[in-house]
Amino acid sequence: MICRAVVALLLCFFVVSDTAGLSYNFYQNTCPDAEKIVADIVKNKIFFDFRWSPRLLRLQFHDCFITGCDASILLDATPSGDKVEKEHKSHETLHGFEVVKDVKEELEKKCPGVVSCADIIVFAVREAIVNMGVDHFPVVSGRRDRRASLASNVEPNIPGEYDSVEKSAKLFASKGFSLDEMIILLGSHSTGVAHCPSIEKRLYGEDTDKYPAMTTALKWMLNLQCPAITANSLNENLFVLLTPMSIGRLSNSFYNSLLSNRGILASDQALTEYPPSEKTVKVLAENDSVWKQEFIKAMQKLGTVDVLTGDQGEIRKQCSRVN
């Protein structure tokens, strides 16, 4: 009964997103092995370093949330000469570019000028998610690559580590996601890391009490892992696991951590202090398989945010530069 009730509650979270111009098996006639080529390369990369999985997942989120799923995050420069997204300070710890580059080079050998960099990101992340314990799922394709990229677009479109639930929800709503969908996507924090400067305010300073509570044991552990270099400075190269009990695996353990006041990021732990979001956190903490089913739907929807299709944009020959 509990499981059926949980499923019924979660199913109402989602609405069908607009995927005009996108379709399944988009490359069936022009590059039929495209998805397999991507999968083989990504699997090989992850075999030697499992960290590529969460890194790629974060790469897609940043790409899709800034100006849409358009591979603008991959550009090293644009004709305008303006500072690009990749150069924003918050992207100093963003990885996955090398994987996409290797995939693109192989696809250009087999199907030159056919598969977009934006689609490569989505295909690669699907494989990364599967590698982290989620069932394989289909994704639509047909995205085109944007010719522009601006660092100034990053900050307004990426949630902050100390944002309130209400502020984060407003940002997600602007991308077409409900509060519940936002919380489901945040479950990806069951893997990956947080660099020490992102939790500095919760650990050091005079106003730590204004941030969500954490257990004494967690604070002690974080103080050891993120020691203060000076009164208000932490080593940017040090990091902590977002959910230590779920290394390299996607699971609902993230929500159980929050309910035990063991959330690493202040914005994550704040979900349990806002009644509408706390209710969803409790539901998701009850059933891992249900969360994974809904996470798949959320990721499929994420891949359709503000895409370019048809004759918009271009198909880049190299993902780091416009044609």
Binding-site residue numbers for heme b are: 189
From the CA atom positions of the chain, what is the Rg in Å? 20
Distance in angstroms (rounded) separating the CA atoms of residues 318 and 74: 10
Annotated binding site: 63, 68, 70, 72, 85, 159, 189
Total residues belonging to the chain: 323
Q: Which residue has the tokens 């996470």?
A: 295
Q: Report residue 239: phi and psi, to 5°.
A: -150, 165
Pick from 137, 191, 155, 151: nearest CA to 303: 137
Task: Say how many C-beta atoms besides its own lie within 10 A of residue 212's C-beta.
Answer: 18
Annotated binding site for Ca(2+): 63, 68, 70, 72, 85
Helices then strands, each counted (H, E), the chain: 13, 4
Residue 132 has, within 13 A of its CA and on its CB side, a CA count of: 31
Please provide the DSSP assignment of 52-121 as one string.
Answer: HHHHHHHHHHHHHHHT-SSSGGG-S--TT-PPPGGGSGGGTT---HHHHHHHHHHHHHHSTTTS-HHHHH
Does 195 participate in catalysis according to the annotation?
no
Question: Is 318 in a helix, a strand, or coil?
Answer: strand
Distance in angstroms (rounded) separating the CA atoms of residues 295 and 185: 6
Pick from 164, 196, 191: nearest CA to 179: 164
Distance in angstroms (rounded) separating the CA atoms of residues 158 and 151: 12
Pick from 318, 282, 286: nearest CA to 3: 286
Distance in angstroms (rounded) separating the CA atoms of residues 308 and 276: 34
Catalytic positions? 62
